[in-house]
Structure 1
Amino acid sequence: MIRAIITHAFKLLATIGIVALLIGSQMGLAPVALATVTQHEELPGQILFKAKQTFADRNHYAWQAIAFRQIYPNRHDDFYLRLVGFPGIVAVDRDRPLILKNKKGDSFLALPDFGELTKNRLSPDLHVGQYNLEGIVEQLDASVDWQAIIPTENKSERVLEIPGTQIQEWQIAAAAGSR
């Protein structure tokens, strides 16, 4: 039952996005990026919603950004952003938060949270950071670009430029997987 409701809600959100794109383009508005949010049923009743993108930091190293909500039966599930850097090049400081900020002066701190990885006693590699964006992603203004400032173990930072269209995809993934 829950699975059917979630699947229906996901399809409805995708349809609304397409209709908004068509109406906006007819009105002469800038086109809205279609979200590349995927849905995958891992086990019966366990559904993963995610948006995945690759960004380069200011040192031109690639980072994979995976924004996701993993739904389990009968419990609340938070929304996470996993950032994966290049092995051996960077070590993420897991005691410091991710900073999300824009040029308008808006700023948010996302706390490190490895969710199921640490509950299952798996230790992610040092080049992986994961942050809880529950309650944050909805507040991000998708009409502007953002910076994700990743803390590293050598007390420096890696900065990713995140376009507003990507923020919009994260918001769609968060909404699609919320109950």
Structure 2
Amino acid sequence: MYRLGWFLGVALALVMTLGVPDGLASVHTYPEGGDRVMYRSLQTLRDRTDQAWQVVFYKRVQGGQTESIHLRLVGFPGGAALEHPHPLKITTGTERVWLAAETDTVTDVPNVAEYDLLEVMRQLTATTPLRLTLPLQKTAIDLPVPPFVVEEWRQVAQK
């Protein structure tokens, strides 16, 4: 038992010292045909009411030029219903605020929304925690975005 505890302690110390390898990140590249490529980060985050949201941040590039940077939020069916069309409020810890316009690609589905984050990502120059204020039909709810997720988004945006 002592040996197992010692081994786990050493393993934990190594992870804390050396960090987590990049291979565990959830950033993926998808060739879409021709010279078009999509880069994507996929996470599951929980809002302030403990509801899980699938958060898909992706960038499309064609011919070496950024076509779009979008954020898709997907709640569980039967859960929170998003207000359509309505902008997404994005706030930093220092209270800088952006409003991201909703795209028109998925507005007919109540638990899914997609937002244009191209300008936001051009202005987001630091890896800082964010707060997304999700526009629900009857209210709004905050979805915290931790720094490691923001860092993935920045990596995707810089590709």
Q: Deviations over 1:75-104 (max 9, x none)?
A: 751100000011111111122211111231
Q: Which runs of 5+ in 2 are unaligned?
A: 1-16
Provide the secondary structure at the position in 1 that maps to 2:48: coil
Q: Deviations over 1:93-143 (max 9, x none)?
A: 1222111112312111111014xx37xxxx652100110000212322544
Which among 41, 45, 52 is matched to residue 51 of structure 1? 41
Provide the secondary structure at the position in 1 that maps to 2:119: coil
Structure having the higher Rg: 2
**4+ long deviations beyond 3 Å:** 31-35, 72-76
Call closer, same or farther: CA 1:32–1:104 in 2, change over 3 Å: farther
Call closer, same or farther: CA 1:33–1:60 in 2, change over 3 Å: farther
Call closer, same or farther: CA 1:94–1:170 in 2, change over 3 Å: same
- Equivalences for 1:61-140 in 2 at 5 Å? 61-73=51-63, 77-114=67-104, 117=105, 124-140=108-124
Match in the other structure for 2:132: 148
Corresponding pairs, count = 141
What's the TM-score once normalised by structure 1's chain length?
Answer: 0.69
Call closer, same or farther: CA 1:32–1:142 in 2, change over 3 Å: farther
Match in the other structure for 2:144: 161
The structure whose residues are more often strand, as a share, is: 2
Amino acid at match of 1:162: V
Match in the other structure for 1:60: 50
Coordinate RMSD, CA, aligned:
2.4
- Over the matched positions of the two proteins, sequence identity in percent amounts to 26
In 1, are the aligned partners of 2:40 and 2:156 still within 8 Å (CA)?
yes
